[in-house]
Amino acid sequence: MHTVTIEGRSIAYDVHDRDGAGPGAVFVHGSGGSRAVWKSQARLADEFPVVTMDLSGHGDSDDVVAEPGWETFSAYAGDVVAVAEETGSRTLVGNSLGGAVCLHVALHREVEIERLVLVGTGARLSVLEDLREWLETDFERAVEFLHEPGHFLSEGADERLIEGSKRAMLACGQAVVRRDFESCHGFDVRDELSGIDVPSLAVCGSDDPLTPPSYHRYLADEMPDCEYETIPEAAHLVMLDRPDAFNAVVSGFLGAQ
């Protein structure tokens, strides 16, 4: 594990590099997650350096004091930029909240980005009202709901993956996870997408009920240089659900650039 310090807080990240060519890619997890969600993407390190990180308050990273919304996105964007600059990475890969953070970086930070991979995310990320209530009043119920079959992971997914994702979310704690989802609920950059002109890929599981394929088609339609891919029989955490298929799509996109 490596760390970089930003505004007094320590941000944790790992680097997987087996002599991959060119600048690396920073992989950014979603709400209540950690860098462990990208464990299968370490296999891509033969092709390019793979950098996986924990946003503030997640995994091994220090927390930040921030209100949900712009303050949180600004803090998380700072985390991503710090890790990208520390590792010389020029590609950002983000899932769900992490994808929104990558869009925020592309729109509002002066940093060199060559490519974006947007995974299970969208230009607008409204959250189910029942889930918002449970996150405030019954955290364990919210965690169970998100991990019901077909939500985060597809029906029949390995129970070890489900339990690992639950543990990561519970370890983040109610305050951080609620901050994540409340920030997502207010996220809306639909009117700004035309300003992101770096080559991009919008990819999702075909059965993702949280950020469905229509969200990703919209990204591809509205961004000047964005491709669209779906991966069959996968839900929201497509990189865990179908890692080989996901890696092949990402490898194909990044290798073609």
Per-residue pLDDT tens over the stretch 16-73: 988 877 779 999 999 999 999 999 999 999 999 999 999 999 999 999 999 999 999 9
Contacts of 96 (CB under 8 A, 6+ apart): 30, 31, 119, 120, 121, 125, 184, 210, 211, 236
Report how far apart the first and last C-alpha atoms of the chain are (Å, whole number).
Answer: 29
- Which residues make beta-bridge pairs with 28? 53, 94
pLDDT, tens digit, for every residue of 134-174? 999 999 999 999 999 999 998 888 899 999 999 999 999 99
Answer whether CATH 3.40.50.300 is correct for domain 2-256.
no
d(C-alpha 208, C-alpha 203), whole Å: 11
Average pLDDT of the segment spanning 201-218: 96
Among candidate residues 235, 216, 229, 232, the one with its CA nearest the CA of residue 165:
235
pLDDT above 90 as % of the chain: 89
Distance CA 125, CA 114 (A): 24
Query: Can you give the pLDDT at residue 107?
Result: 96
Task: Decide: pTM greater than 0.85.
Answer: yes
> By three-state DSSP, how is residue 174 classified?
helix
